[in-house]
Structure 1
Amino acid sequence: MEQNRGKMGASSAKTSTYDLIKVGLMAAIVFVATSIIHVPSFMGVVHLGDSMVFVAALLLGKKKAAAASAIGMSLFDLLNGYTAWAPFTFVIKGVMAYIAGSIAYRRDYEGKKIINNILAFAIGGLFMIAAYYFSGVLMAKYIVSPSITINEAFLLALKDIPGNIAQVVAGIVIAVPLSISLNKVKK
């Protein structure tokens, strides 16, 4: 177990109790960050939880961050009236964290290169924006307003893109300085 503590970002073949605790705690942090400041939008919510998705990617690595982010964000959806979004959120936030963690830990960067981390967060965020856009199309067409055409659903889903962009930018602005501080403590 001591080896796992020294390699917080590395993935191992076995899942230890310590790994489960880290994922559970980070899922709780993601949930709380999403719950504290969130603003309902037409078909969803804009929140600051993405900052903790990005931090999870740096602290836990891609696989554990994906699990923590998927659990924390979908739990928020389930407990706050966004139940229809929970399956989308589980996949989208999990993949978002996986992308960010993969880029942050590529080569020998080990999540410590600030510019690389910003790139990782931005690419993960771009994935999230696109994925929620297409999920919004499905929600608009088949759940919110089944009588509209698919073209109207594509237009209607555009309305959430500015909020999602703001959410990603705020997440990056919070996660970058926080991750710098946490990397110092992690040593």
Structure 2
Amino acid sequence: MGRKSGFLAGAIGSAIADIAMGYQHFAPVTFVVKGLEGFVAGLVVYALSKRFKEKNHVTILAASIAGSIVMISGYFVAELYVMRLFDETMGLAAALRDLPVNLVQGGVCAVVGYSLSVALEKFKVTKFITN
């Protein structure tokens, strides 16, 4: 996926999931964090593909890792500062408590994202969804 479609897919899908699962108060943060995760992954693919003239497994892996780093740090910062405006129980303790969960989530997302990207490339589906 490209930068724009990565942002939209990550932001909209994940925010809707938060709302559907009863975590409405996290939906705005999720929209931004997951949107940026998708955008950065798309940006890395775009930049590396432009430099190396084609996508390869290293490019896709780098994009997956970069996106995961954005997600992990985004949720950490959100819990540290933003969510504290609405819920005083949030802050450093909550951000540190949730860090291992976000690390696992980032790892799983990187593996799934990499696997799906490789599959989509193999079946030439990406030419319809990149931007």
TM-score (norm 1): 0.59
Could you say which residue in structure 2 is the equivalent of 1:39? none
Correspondence for 2:108 among 146, 153, 170: 170
Counterpart among 36, 40, 43 of residue 102 in structure 1: 43
Aligned residues: 123
Aligned mates of 1:171, 1:111 — CA distance in 2: 23
Q: Which residue of 1 aligns with 2:31?
A: 90
Higher-RCO chain (CA-CA 8 Å, sequence separation at least 6):
2
Give secondary structure in 2 for the equivalent of 1:81: coil
* Larger Rg computed on CA atoms: 1
1:141 is matched with 84
Query: Which residue is equivalent to 1:129?
Result: 72
RMSD: 2.1
Name the one with the larger helix percent: 2
Question: Is there any run of 5+ residues in structure 2 with no aligned partner, and where?
Answer: 126-131
Give the 5 Å matches for 1:146-161.
146=88, 153-161=91-99
Deviation of 1:140 after TM superposition, in Å, equals: 5.6
**How far is the alpha carbon of 1:112 from its aligned partner?**
2.2
Gaps of 5+ in 1: 1-59
- Identical-residue share of aligned pairs (%): 30
SS at match of 1:105: helix
> How far did 1:72 drift?
0.5
Q: Distance in 2 between matches of 1:102 and 1:68?
A: 14
Give the C-alpha shift of residue 180 in structure 1. Answer: 1.6
**TM-score when normalising by structure 2:** 0.81
Following superposition, the deviation at residue 108 of structure 1 comes to 4.4
For the residues of structure 2 that align with 1:70 and 1:111, how far apart are their CA atoms? 27
Deviation at 1:177, TM superposition (A): 2.8
